[in-house]
Chain A
């Protein structure tokens, strides 16, 4: 599976949108982009995934560039409960390979 590159950390103001970037320049045509988050030491939580079209659900939006080499996860109105480690993962078949992720801190 393709590797991803994410910033180590970022801060966000409560109530503002949080935009989390991810680079995956070696992604293959059949690989999907997945986002998970982990709050403290809880189990990772699935957020959203996409192949090439932008996706939106009740938690977030996923914007994938046309060349698919990068993507952005958008949390539209960040709350304190969104403080977590966010993982961008490129998945081909069944396997999820977690990197270090981005530690997002939402500040009041």
Chain B
């Protein structure tokens, strides 16, 4: 089944403890992206990648890192999480050109 898989689905962590949220897609998509969703602010793009080793900042990149060493994986790294990064995170992937993107099921992160 074609899908974008995020792990974990839920995570509670403490301030300052490095964490990684994984994202993997099995559709050979070139494009991948991370979004966060917060009440009243909607979905905002954090980082995106047009292909392997090509990444760029979205609208809210502060406090996050990403890497794209393989086409299928696009992990989101929080080096020193803070409570303001408590959010619902979504990974998406898609083909280049005008096609719809496929989103993962989300990761609900709580930083205390």
Question: Chain A interface mostly helix, strand, loop or mixed?
Answer: loop
Query: Which secondary structure dominates chain B's binding surface?
Result: strand
A80 within 8 A of B: no
**Within 8 Å CB of A36, what residues of B?**
100
Assess the B90–A98 pair: CB atoms within 8 A: no
> Given A42-B105, A94-B48: A32 and B43 within 8 A (CB)?
no
* A99 in contact with B102 given A44-B90, A94-B50 (CB within 8 Å): no
B3-19 near A? 1/0 per residue, CB < 8 Å: 01000000000000000
Contact present for A42 and B106 (CB under 8 Å):
yes
Q: Which residues of A contact B (CB under 8 A)?
A: 32, 34, 36, 41-49, 51, 91, 94-101
Q: Is B31 a contact partner of A43 (Cβ separation < 8 A)?
A: no
CB distance from A4 to the nearest CB of B (A): 12
Query: Known: A94-B48, A94-B50, A94-B96. Contact between A43 and B42, CB under 8 A?
Result: no
The residues of A that contact B58 with a CB separation of less than 8 Å are: 95
Leading 3 A-B pairs by shortest Cβ distance:
A46-B100, A43-B103, A98-B43
Query: In the bound complex, do residue A95 and residue B42 qualify as a contact, i.e. CB atoms below 8 Å apart?
Result: no
